[in-house]
Each structure stands twice: as structure tokens, then as C-alpha cells.
Structure 1
Amino acid sequence: MSKVRIYTLAKDLGVDNQKLLEILDSLGVVYKSVSSTLDEDTVETIKEILAAEAAGGTPAQPGTATQGAPATDTTDAATETDAAPAAAPTPAAPQPTPKDDVTPTPAAPTPTPAQAATASHAAAVAVAEAPAREIPHRSPVVTIMGHVDHGKTSLLDYIRKTKVAAKEAGGITQHVGAFEAQTSKGRIVFIDTPGHEAFTTIRARGANVADIAIIVVAADDSIMPQTREAIAHAQAAKVPLIVAINKVDLPQADVDRVKTDLTMVNLVPEEFGGDTVVVPVSAKTGEGVEDLLEYISLTAELEDLRADPNGEFSGVIIESKVDRQAGVLATVMVQEGTINVGDFLVVGETYGKIKAMTDSLGGRIKSAGPSTPVQVLGFSEAPVSGDKVASASNEHAAREKVAVRVDTRRTVEEARAQRKLSLEEMMGSLVEVREVNLILRADTQGSVEAIQGILAKKESDDVKLNVMLAGIGAPTEGDVLLASTAEATILCFSVTASGAVKKVADQKGVDLKSFRIIYELIDEVDRLIKGNVEPVFEEKYLGRAEVRMLIKHPKSGTIAGSYVTDGSFKRNAKAKVTRGKQVVYEGTIVGLKRFKDDVREVQTGYECGINLDWNDVMEGDIIEASEMVEVQQ
């Protein structure tokens, strides 16, 4: 028997995946996901456990006695006390056959590993079935992202045409911007919001709409810039990610190349020993689409998505528009609870009463539960995508909620203007590993790789540098959105952001910095690693020199021919000139010479020419040099 995937075995045995995973946990079997494979011995053990449970929870027993079987009884203690020991049959004794009117005394077998694990498995099931898990499951909400022309829309269209509910009607996405696919594993909701930037815009407002992200990669094109961006956005959202390799029907398709390229963006396919689910598909022929839907359902099952339809309502605005005839139409994804026609909804600092609701097929409905996208008529203003939606018992309660939100916003804004962050707030907890999120943009791929190599050496046990996105070319507004939601800094090397991008960065409060010298970029990273705290400097004494002669220079002015009596002198160091006991000048050493040569430093016991940004120096003056050094905190 060859190895079998966990989800395939669950399907063959007629149990759900979670049940099978609980059995594997009780057996101590290590797996990465439901697509991990099991060997023959493990499969047989699982079958024995399920057979034992089907028989009422007791381990399965053989139907007849086996010659030479040990007479070990596995019943309870009371039965063991009263039962007489079974005599072992002699080798010459004939075996009873079905026609013999003989009832042999069955010999109890030694418990198998599966039977021994049954008790611990039962305990695990008991915990899993605790009252906290009585909240019903909800359908997964899926978004599809990827590079332009890699087939995102085509894949959605194929699923839409073949998997929508039986009462399919035209213009589904025009109604709601989402549709529901009915699969053998249940209902899946797809958000038809284009682009990963829209996905992040919703997240930027504090809402996670999608439970699963599908990254579409063309088999003839592999990983492209927008693919990398889509992956970064999905990872920032911390949602499970499935890669769909599309266009496998093309003669130039190279699935293996795509899988190899995925490892370069830290997505290691399961067959390579990683935990990224990769599904080859064709949006044109439909090949692999069923497998993709299966994996979506399996991932949702592992995520254990639940919502209480009877709980307090909460939802998110997917999109909104103003219809000339109907007025404001807003698409709401119900996340918790249920909404009904006539309910009052509060969004941001406004509210509205539901006058009508439309489902994803364009039909009028009166109520909607969790994981249901509905188009709502009733708002006086078009809400913003990503705004959270709450309900109110009546209009008075809705007004009160809005008033509270307005007051809260004003209070926060006032406090933010007055409050200064403490050191701990700026640096984070000193006992936890801090994560510094970065987005890199450079002029060439070589520059990107060089910078990433340097950054890799900057990590420590206390600080992790997370390069969320690294690409060639100037930063985009999408980069700013990602940086805004992930609290990342955008670092540019030899490329400059456009005025529009800089304006968005200012509005979002995103640090966007450009560098022409690699060491300046690295210095900025060092500053970020130290916790975004402005450095503290103190003055450090360098040395002392005596002025012995003056040299007039037509361009440099007066140069003090001096002898260094202590320490050392450095160019650009701070200088203090004393005459007797009086300080007559404080400034900077703008030049330092040894004979005719410009030098950076002169040590004790050497003569030098000191050029100050001051021409009134005199013979006999004492010059002291110092520099500002950063204090280690």
C-alpha cells in the first residue's frame, strides 16, 4: 500500500479531517497539514481505532481463537477476579470449524498500539467537544491576488460559472462584489475585490475580511513583481496562503520552475518539505480547480472558522457606491450575528436603517448570517471600504453610538498631540524579540540582494529584521499602504519616490527615506534596530596643541602652526581656544595639515597646521580638540 494523504484517507473513511488530526495527535504522529502523507502502518492503526470506536469504544476483538494466543484478559478488574484462567490448547487438538457444535473460549489478544492509544484519543475528543466549541462553523471567505494577466479574473469566472448556487443569475458581481460557490465540502465565499492594494486598504482600517488568500502564479511566467507584493500583503494580514499555479494547459508551462521560484520568496511547497499548499490549475480547462476548492475547504477546516449567528452583530464594508435611482448601496460582509431588514447599522461616525437587502445572486432577502455578503440600502452617506459595521437596537441607540465615537476620536487626537512616548513605548518590551519591518526598493536586483545580505547580518537574538517586500524601481502607493498597515519603514537606494507617493506617505505617517550611499542606508537600519530613539551624545576630550606660529593663506585664511602636546587632533572636531585663562573662541577644525598634505588626524609629538573657521588666533594660544560621541543606552 502506497502512502496516502491525510485528507484523502479522511474522505475514504467517511470522517472529517479534524477527527483524523485528533487521532494522529493522540498517536504522536507529526504532520504539517492535511495534505501530509501517512505510511501503511499508521493508516492501519487509524482504521483499528475507528473500528474500535464504532464498536462502542472498546478495542476490536478477533472473531475466533487463535492457536497459541496469549490468555491475557483486558476486561475490567472485577471481571479478572471472577474469571477462570483459560487453558491453552495442545498442539494435537483439532481446530473447531463452523460445522462443529463447539464454542471455543476466546483468548484475549495483547492490546495493539492503536488500542492503547484509544483512551488518550477519547480524552482528546472529549476536550475538543467541550461546550466552547458549540459555536457553529461558518463558511470561509477567500480573496484571490497575484500579478496582472496571471489569470485571477479567469479563475474567478470559471468558479463562478460552475459553482454558484442553483439559482444562478447574471450580473452577480455587479450586485455585491462577492459570490458564493457550493462545493462538495460546503459553501465558499469569494470576494471579487480586485488587487492586493484594495485588500490592504481594508486591513488598514482595522478589518480582516478574508480568511484565506489565494496567490495566482502563471505557470509560463513564474514569480513577478506584483506576485511578490501580493505575497507580502497576504503575509502581513497573517492569513493562510494557498498558491494556485495557473495556465498549466499551456505548452510552455513549467510548474517545477514556479515551485522552485516560490522557495526564493520563503514559500516552500509541501513536496519540498515546506508547508505551503501549491495547486496546479487551469482556469481555461478547469483542471485542478476541484483540487483548489478542496484545499480551501481543508484549510478552513483546520482554521476552525466559527461564528455565532445569534451573537452580537459585526461586519465590514467591502465596497459602496451611489446609485442614481436607489441611492447609497453598501456591500457588507456579515462576520458575527445576523442582520435583518429594518435594523439600524452604525458605520464610523454615521448610521443608517436597512430598507432592503440583496444577496450575491441579486435576490431580495430579509436576513443574513455569518460569512454572507449582502448589499444594503439605507445609508445616507457612502461608507468607506474596510469600515467596521455594528448594529443598534433603535435610532436613539445608533445616535448615541455615533456620539460616543466622535467624543472618543477627539479625545484620542488631543491626547496624541500632547503625549510624549515613553522609552518603553518607543522600543517595545526589552524582554521580547522586537521585529523591525522594512520595505526595500533599489535600482538593480544586485543592489537589492547586496542590501538584503547586509541586513541578514544585522539580526540578533533581540531584534529580527523582516524585509516584507524587496523590489526594483521607485516605491509605489501600494508600498505605502503595506507599510502603513504593517508599521514598516520604506528604504530606497538609488531610486526616488514620486511626489504623489511622498504625499501619500506623509498622509499615512509612513517613513519613506531615500539614500545614494549604501552606508547611510545601513546607518538608518542601525538606528531602527536601536528602537527609533534619538541618540544621546556627550563631548569627549581628544587632545591639546600649542600655537607656535601663524601662516597666512590667501584662500584658507590664518593657519595656526601648532605642536600637539597631548592626545590627538582630528579634522572636523570641535575646537576651543584659550588665551591665558580666558576662552576666546569655540568652533570647528575645518582643516588639518602636515606640511603641504591634508590629513585626518595628528598624534601627540607632531607639528601640524590647524585651520579654524576663525582668523584671530595668536601665537601662544592653546587649542583643545573634542568630539561628540553617542552614549550607549
Structure 2
Amino acid sequence: GRGDYAKRRPQRQSLRVSTGKRGRAGRSSRGSLKRRDRAGEKEAKEAAAIERRTVSLPDGPLTVAELAEIIDEKPVAVIKFMMTNLGVMAAMTQSLDPATCVAVVEGFGKIVGGDEDEYDDEDEDYDEDSALAVGTVFDEDDPEDLVERPPVITIMGHVDHGKTSLLDAIRSTSVVSGEAGGITQAISAYQVKHNGAPITFIDTPGHAAFTDMRERGANITDIVILVVAADDGVMQQTADSIVCARQAGVPLIVAINKCDLETADVNRVKSDLTQYDVLTEDLGGEVLFSEVSAKQGTGLDDLLDKIMLQAEVEDLKANPDCDAQGIVIEARVEKGLGTVATTLIKRGTVRVGDVFVAGATSGKVRALIATDGKTRLKEAGPSTPVNVVGFEGIPEAGDMLVVAPDEQMARELAESRARIARERESASYQSNLLQSVGSIFSGEAMKERRE
């Protein structure tokens, strides 16, 4: 056998040694063909893999269960993913908006099929009210469950035009002045009764806070009262307030204040407002207006009548019988109570003992204190401003307060949201850092070139 091998070996060697150009060329072309085939196979495999991962979403909202079926996952896995990775609380039967659906699909390593641009457009439409922005999924209420709710009024206007004095004047008509004790240093929200019907007022500390809340999907107000001083007319912040109300899609009521002054010129104010497309009724427009004097307390009843009239037109309703959802207007630490958050209940009824999540904090309602700072309530329904006691941390203004099924879920959700917020911050910090480092280096390079 070995002899045969010895005979055969030289041939193999000679084959290996042979360096004829033709042999090499032939081999390399054969290799490149193979390579091409392999590349083609690889591409085909990749395309097949992408196809397997691609899912097409139908138009409109999907329930959690439907979405789970489309991406071939268990609904429980989808709910857990939404809670830990998106900070969104949802139940199986709740509908998700397209932006949230896309986020879930991509989160499970799948690709959304169809026209990419189409989804981008939808994302922008759903941005403000998307579950991703708000952190919870809203159920559509059955029209039969809806009952009338009090209007929520925000007072806006230029500095020194008498917003606060108007608020105080309205309050003093229904609240006994000189309250002793209680928490009334800077009341941000309260309710007054006019002819037996409640009206909720919210005092926004400036436009920045108002727009900031709006951007976070917390559109709290139903009607904006624009306070304009009769002796001063329309100023910069008055114009800003008009823009704010327009963006929020909320009707305006103009309250022309300081009408008791000799220098008051109501007609000038009205003509000034027409430049901003605010036409009052007497000029053939639809904007209600009222001439008041916060100092003298005149015209307030007329203003409240107009508010009730506008509220009737708006037909404001909410469902009081579901789990409560509210918006934190402001939060502070009170001696002996811990964190107290003034919250406006949007829908449902909040009760003492409810477990809740608000932004990146959670807690259990230990007490509900009315906005007078003293009265303890057992529950609070839609459009009611109430001080909630029992937070574990301090929520931010504009956070959505939502009643959760149990404490463990509330805590997990709050922790997920805190983590997501931290990750976002660090990601933006890093990208900014890289940019600034990049600009420094490019700047150095430019200097060297100049020299």
C-alpha cells in the first residue's frame, strides 16, 4: 500500500506546485462564481428572514390581544414589555394607538411592513395623546355612562392685568375670607359654586407651565379666560395667551378688567383683540366678553353666567364610575402630611385607599383634602381639584395620576418609568457630549489648518 502512495504522491505535489497562469485564473473564476452564489444565498436568506420578521398592521387602533396575535406573542408578554420597556400600563382588552403598536412591534424585534412614511405621519398625529406620551391606555367611554361635569377654567393674561385679583374676587364671593390654618398659601386650583353649579378654576403660573403641560398630553382646561386690563389693552403676554388657547383648541372668554378706572377704554381693547382674530359678540364674533372690576367686585356674576353658557355649548361630560385618572397640577411637601399633590380628576372617582401611579412615582391615597386645605373627603369625581396625600416620591406637574390594580404593579411601573427617563437623559447627555467633543476637535483642526 505504501508503494502505491509513494507513486501517487509526486503527482499531488506537482499539482500543488504548478503555477501556470491558466490554472490560477481558472480557479479564481470558479471561486468567484462560488462566492457570488454564496452572496446571493446570503441575500436571499436575509430577505427571507426580514420577510419572516415583517408584520403588517391594520389601520386604526388594535387591542393588546389582537396585537399579540399579529406578532405571535402571548398577551401577557406584550403587557409586561409595555410596562417594563415603555412605562405604559395596559389591559388585554384595551386599544392601543398606532404609534404604541409600532413601538411594541419593533420592541419584539419585528419590522413594520407597509409604507414607512405612512407610519411616521401617524406617529406625529398621535404624539400628544399617544399612550407612549401619557403612560397609560385610555378606554373609550360608553356614551350611556357619561354624565355632565363642571367646566375647568384657566385664567390667563398679561402680568399686572389682575389675574390673581380676579381669582381672589371670584373666590371671595363663594369662600369665607380669612381662613385660619389649612394649606392655602398659593392655591393652584379650587371650585366655586354659581347658582348651585360648580365651576373649577385653575391658576396657571405663567404660560410656560401651561404649554409644558399641554405638550405632555395633559390638556387640563375647557375654557380659557383672557384677562385684559381696560386701561392697558392687549400686551405681549395677552397675545401669547391667545396662541396658547388656540393651540389647545379651547374657547376664549374675554374678561376686561379694571373697568372702574377713569382711563379705562373698553372699545380700544375690543378693537385691539380683532387684530388677533378675537371677535367679541357685539362686533359680530362668537367670543363672549364681560366687563369686570376685580377691585370693586362688579361684573363677576355676569362673567360666571358667561362661563356656564360657554360650558353648556361645550357639552362637557365624563364617566364617574371607572378607575380614576387625573392630572397633577402641582406637588409640594407639607409638614405632617408628606408629599401633597393638587390633582384635577379628569374621569372616574378617586377614593381613599386607592393605589395609583403618577409619572415615575406611585403610592396609596392616605387622604383626600379639599382645596380649602381643611375638609377631608372620602372621594372626588370628575373635574374636581383635590389634594392627594400618600405619594412615595414627588410627582411633576402635568403627570397623569392613574389608579392601578395593585401596589406591586404600581411600584414596578413607577420604577420602569424612572429607569426609562434616566436612560433617555443619559442618551441625550451622551449624544450632546459627543457633539461637543466633535465640535472641539473639528475646531482644533480648523485652527491648525489656518496656522
**Considering only aligned residues, what root-mean-square deviation do their CA atoms show, in Å?**
3.0
CA deviations 1:448-485 (Å, max 9, x no partner) are xxxxxxxxxxxxxxxxxxxxxxxxxxxxxxxxxxxxxx
Q: Report the TM-score, using the length of structure 1 for normalisation.
A: 0.43
Q: 2:258 aligns with which of 247, 256, 260?
A: 247
Measured at CA, do residues 383 and 170 of structure 1 come closer, stay the same or move farther in structure 2, by a change above 3 Å?
same
Report the Cα distance in structure 1 between the residues aligned to 2:301 and 2:422, rounded to whole angstroms.
51
Higher helix share: 2
Gaps of 5+ in 1: 1-130, 418-502, 507-633
Report the Cα distance in structure 2 between the residues aligned to 1:379 and 1:201, rounded to whole angstroms.
22
Are 2:385 and 1:345 aligned?
no
- The one-letter code sitting in structure 2 at the alignment partner of 1:292 is L
| Matched-pair contact (CA < 8 Å) for 1:147–1:227 | yes
| Matched-pair contact (CA < 8 Å) for 1:344–1:352 | yes
Measured at CA, do residues 253 and 166 of structure 1 come closer, stay the same or move farther in structure 2, by a change above 3 Å?
closer
Measured at CA, do residues 404 and 328 of structure 1 come closer, stay the same or move farther in structure 2, by a change above 3 Å?
closer
Residue correspondence of structure 1 range 409-488 to structure 2 within 5 A? none
1:298 is matched with 309
3-state secondary structure, aligned to 1:174: coil
Are 2:171 and 1:141 aligned?
no
3-state secondary structure, aligned to 2:204: coil
Q: CA deviation at 1:338?
A: 0.8
Report the Cα distance in structure 1 between the residues aligned to 2:173 and 2:270, rounded to whole angstroms.
28
Report the Cα distance in structure 2 between the residues aligned to 1:269 and 1:288, rounded to whole angstroms.
17
3-state secondary structure, aligned to 1:399: helix
| Matched-pair contact (CA < 8 Å) for 1:176–1:359 | no
2:405 is matched with 393
Higher strand share: 1
Q: 1:214 aligns with which of 212, 217, 225?
A: 225
Q: CA deviation at 1:269?
A: 1.2
Q: 1:334 aligns with which of 337, 345, 349?
A: 345
Q: CA deviation at 1:241?
A: 0.8
Q: CA deviation at 1:165?
A: 8.3
Measured at CA, do residues 172 and 223 of structure 1 come closer, stay the same or move farther in structure 2, by a change above 3 Å?
farther
Q: CA deviation at 1:310?
A: 0.5
Report the Cα distance in structure 1 between the residues aligned to 2:412 and 2:302, rounded to whole angstroms.
49
CA deviations 1:399-445 (Å, max 9, x no partner) are 3433665687799999x99xxxxxxxxxxxxxxxxxxxxxxxxxxxx
Report the Cα distance in structure 2 between the residues aligned to 1:307 and 1:322, rounded to whole angstroms.
30
How many matched pairs?
289
Measured at CA, do residues 172 and 402 of structure 1 come closer, stay the same or move farther in structure 2, by a change above 3 Å?
closer
Report the Cα distance in structure 2 between the residues aligned to 1:406 and 1:177, rounded to whole angstroms.
26
Report the Cα distance in structure 1 between the residues aligned to 2:274 and 2:366, rounded to whole angstroms.
51
Q: CA deviation at 1:247?
A: 0.8
Are 2:171 and 1:160 aligned?
yes
1:364 is matched with 376
Measured at CA, do residues 174 and 282 of structure 1 come closer, stay the same or move farther in structure 2, by a change above 3 Å?
same
Measured at CA, do residues 283 and 146 of structure 1 come closer, stay the same or move farther in structure 2, by a change above 3 Å?
same
Are 2:283 and 1:272 aligned?
yes
Which is greater in Rg?
1
3-state secondary structure, aligned to 1:296: helix
Work out which structure has the larger RCO, using CA pairs closer than 8 Å and 6 or more positions apart in sequence.
2
Report the Cα distance in structure 2 between the residues aligned to 1:332 and 1:359, rounded to whole angstroms.
10
- The one-letter code sitting in structure 1 at the alignment partner of 2:246 is Q
- The one-letter code sitting in structure 2 at the alignment partner of 1:381 is G
| Matched-pair contact (CA < 8 Å) for 2:361–2:415 | no
Residue correspondence of structure 1 range 96-111 to structure 2 within 5 A? none
Q: CA deviation at 1:174?
A: 3.2
| Matched-pair contact (CA < 8 Å) for 1:281–1:289 | yes
Are 2:393 and 1:402 aligned?
no
1:382 is matched with 394
Q: CA deviation at 1:244?
A: 0.4
Report the Cα distance in structure 1 between the residues aligned to 2:270 and 2:195, rounded to whole angstroms.
28
Report the Cα distance in structure 2 between the residues aligned to 1:189 and 1:366, rounded to whole angstroms.
19
2:292 is matched with 281
Q: CA deviation at 1:160?
A: 0.4
Instruction: Using the aligned pairs only, state the percent identity.
Output: 50
- The one-letter code sitting in structure 1 at the alignment partner of 2:190 is F
Gaps of 5+ in 2: 1-141, 433-451
Q: CA deviation at 1:329?
A: 1.2
- The one-letter code sitting in structure 2 at the alignment partner of 1:395 is E
3-state secondary structure, aligned to 2:250: coil
Q: CA deviation at 1:200?
A: 1.6
Report the Cα distance in structure 2 between the residues aligned to 1:403 and 1:295, rounded to whole angstroms.
45
Q: CA deviation at 1:143?
A: 0.9
2:211 is matched with 200
Measured at CA, do residues 257 and 250 of structure 1 come closer, stay the same or move farther in structure 2, by a change above 3 Å?
same
Report the Cα distance in structure 1 between the residues aligned to 2:370 and 2:186, rounded to whole angstroms.
8
| Matched-pair contact (CA < 8 Å) for 1:176–1:374 | no
| Matched-pair contact (CA < 8 Å) for 2:361–2:394 | no
CA deviations 1:287-306 (Å, max 9, x no partner) are 22111101111111111111
Q: 2:189 aligns with which of 178, 182, 188?
A: 178
Report the Cα distance in structure 2 between the residues aligned to 1:339 and 1:165, rounded to whole angstroms.
27
Q: CA deviation at 1:204?
A: 2.3
- The one-letter code sitting in structure 2 at the alignment partner of 1:310 is D
